[in-house]
Structure 1
């Protein structure tokens, strides 16, 4: 087998030329063997961090105390980490002690799953000390060593294991399944940010429904920071996540199926960014509007075509429409958008200053009310987007709202 990681070749060559061992390790080897896209390429070496810094011109000591140096080469960042072993995890994440080792075997022994404990040398030879290739062939998620020990080191490995069943369509090993059930409550000790990262990837996997079933079977779901009302497992497992395209769509489907509608409270507990909260909130809002009233030009205008099409995908995901009708539903969105006389408020022929000039009133809430009403009238063509006609409409509106 030839060496498939061409961009990393120079780093391995430099390290081995100076008497050090060096291998590509972990997910890159796994994904290459599965014929999946390879993203990050990590390198394990017998060289100590100081050696790595000395050998390469462009480095970043991102985790030098744990043996990791980022090497910039061929326009790519590579994490180069010294062989190490770890012990003691009082915070269930960071080892109390890191020892630099001299053998690849010691380094691979600390990794989470057998399929991530694979290495490849510069010739393309795969080093497999724990049966990872067999597990790839069998579609099995097994820990390196006893699952209880791996979980105690970092309980997030339970979420990672279930996430891999979603991404790879693999099955969780029986010993792992039992250990996850027994230790699921340890997830309460993990930061919500780390759990959120795994959940987001899990929801994007091709076997997400299977993985959601595992969340419940292992009781890991009960250890996650969900409100008490989040219990409709059957509705959740019926969602067709595969039709959804974005993380926001998938989270919307997930939370809606669980009947979690106090999104602000959920987002606060999960430390979501304001941007993600805003997008998911809009999707939940317009999903409800679509379900109740359907679309019209005004609703499409305020939602925007991209969000409206996301809502259409949610219709299919929830079983309210079939896949075959989706393309037509998206075309309907585009048609409604084209009927709108304007596509943003800035296209109005007037501004708030014009309304103030035509009015004898001081600025106040009435101004926002008038602009919002005018916007709807212009969108639908009830009022032409011309200054004279808008002035006539405004004066009539103002007269109508004043007490007689």
Structure 2
């Protein structure tokens, strides 16, 4: 800011950084609005990245951090419901703030720490309200994702959504179908991690936004979902698993395809659902904890508590029980077995086939529980007996 100002340009911190500073929340990304044009910014700083130069944004790398520096601008026409057809560089901070989504994000702060509030953002912070800058309908028509952002902010901050905004969301919920699923997924993942997630889920249903989201067109029963204690869950995968389970969506693969999830997230959520069902039906024993893994088993206990299946006050004790079962396992992965498939082949007169996988799986269980010592000679003895028993008499 000092560099920009000493060269005759205006510069203000804008948006979420000001909002979070005023709320006493941690400030992460710092965005700066300036009267300087992108070429001026590039000329003034040694290390820059033109991340959105056609829209006036240059990333300035300084002090080990990255700052998005954007020229004052106004926008018009949003044929793709995301990118403006026309961007005009402005000389006025007011015109720049007018294009922002919500009043609490349309705040600016000057170099001396004075807050510029042209749209009642500070009053909405005090009143814990989410309201758009200007007409809710116009802001949504520019970018329908703002509906998801608004509900996500309600979840993160514990704020209420303004009545005019609620009505506008209801009337325009269907526009969310025009938004890329990747953008929706980012907002939904943050929404599920918010302090007021249950209230935000209520808003998704009340405004009809839930029905415009991929794979959720028929989501009608929110009874279980609104009672889930999401605050007990630690990871995105746990929260998504709880969300899908509460809506009785068990085809994680189909959901993952609709939401364009990574294979990693799909596997994580699927495993949580699988072992949540195992835990509900059979409980834990060393073998089940071994196959789940300690961290997944602990996550499943958090899911159990989040759904009220176990007493939340007993969660720590349940997690300690998982640790005890895990520590009692003689091995913690197949690679720790004292033998390999080649050893079994060497001891057998049979050719390789499905029996080899069966033998290794059976051996794994025996060693995990301590029924067979993890020693070559004892395993060989066990294997020969296993082979003898499986041969038809």
Give the TM-score normalised by the residue count of structure 1: 0.96
Match of 1:35 in 2: 24
Match of 2:40 in 1: 51
Alignment of 1:17 with 2:6, yes or no, is: yes
Alignment of 1:147 with 2:104, yes or no, is: no
Distance 1:229 1:181 in 2: 16
Displacement after TM superposition at 1:238 (Å): 1.0
Displacement after TM superposition at 1:246 (Å): 0.8
Distance 2:193 2:68 in 1: 26
3-state DSSP class of the match of 1:397? helix
Q: Are the equivalent residues in 2 in contact too, given 1:46–1:103 (CA < 8 A)?
A: yes
Displacement after TM superposition at 1:138 (Å): 0.2
Displacement after TM superposition at 1:123 (Å): 0.4
3-state DSSP class of the match of 1:320? coil
CA distance change for structure 1 residues 317 and 69 in 2, over 3 Å: closer, same or farther? same
3-state DSSP class of the match of 1:205? coil
Alignment of 1:180-199 (within 5 A): 180-199=169-188
Distance 1:123 1:389 in 2: 76
Displacement after TM superposition at 1:372 (Å): 0.7
Alignment of 1:304 with 2:293, yes or no, is: yes
3-state DSSP class of the match of 1:30? helix
Distance 1:288 1:347 in 2: 28
Cα deviation code 1:155-206 (max 9, x no counterpart): 0000000011100000001110110011110001011111110100000000
Match of 2:324 in 1: 335
Displacement after TM superposition at 1:231 (Å): 2.7
Partner of residue 168 from structure 2, selected from 179, 193, 209: 179
Displacement after TM superposition at 1:338 (Å): 1.2
Match of 1:241 in 2: 230
Give the TM-score normalised by the residue count of structure 2: 0.99
Distance 2:218 2:123 in 1: 41
3-state DSSP class of the match of 1:79? strand
3-state DSSP class of the match of 1:123? coil
3-state DSSP class of the match of 2:61? strand
Alignment of 1:361 with 2:350, yes or no, is: yes
Alignment of 1:323 with 2:289, yes or no, is: no
Distance 1:365 1:95 in 2: 59
Distance 2:98 2:207 in 1: 25
Q: Are the equivalent residues in 1 in contact too, given 2:72–2:92 (CA < 8 A)?
A: yes
Match of 2:359 in 1: 370
Partner of residue 94 from structure 2, selected from 105, 113, 117: 105
Distance 2:377 2:204 in 1: 62
Distance 2:219 2:81 in 1: 26
Match of 2:114 in 1: 125
3-state DSSP class of the match of 1:309? helix
CA distance change for structure 1 residues 300 and 186 in 2, over 3 Å: closer, same or farther? same
Alignment of 1:281 with 2:246, yes or no, is: no
Match of 1:351 in 2: 340
Distance 1:375 1:117 in 2: 60
Displacement after TM superposition at 1:360 (Å): 1.1
Displacement after TM superposition at 1:228 (Å): 5.3
Distance 1:195 1:228 in 2: 15
Match of 2:199 in 1: 210
Distance 1:316 1:386 in 2: 40
Partner of residue 81 from structure 2, selected from 89, 92, 95: 92
Moved over 3 A (4+): 227-230
Cα deviation code 1:275-307 (max 9, x no counterpart): 000000000000000000000000101111111
Q: What residue ranges of structure 2 are gaps of 5+ in the alignment? A: none
Distance 1:51 1:227 in 2: 47
Match of 2:370 in 1: 381
CA distance change for structure 1 residues 228 and 66 in 2, over 3 Å: closer, same or farther? closer
Supply the RMSD in Å over aligned alpha carbons.
Answer: 0.8
Cα deviation code 1:324-343 (max 9, x no counterpart): 10011011001101111111
Q: Are the equivalent residues in 2 in contact too, given 1:230–1:259 (CA < 8 A)?
A: no
Match of 2:52 in 1: 63
Match of 2:382 in 1: 393
Q: Are the equivalent residues in 2 in contact too, given 1:229–1:259 (CA < 8 A)?
A: no
Cα deviation code 1:134-156 (max 9, x no counterpart): 00000000000000000000000
Displacement after TM superposition at 1:227 (Å): 4.6
Cα deviation code 1:66-121 (max 9, x no counterpart): 10000000110000000000000000000001110011001000000000000000
Displacement after TM superposition at 1:226 (Å): 2.0
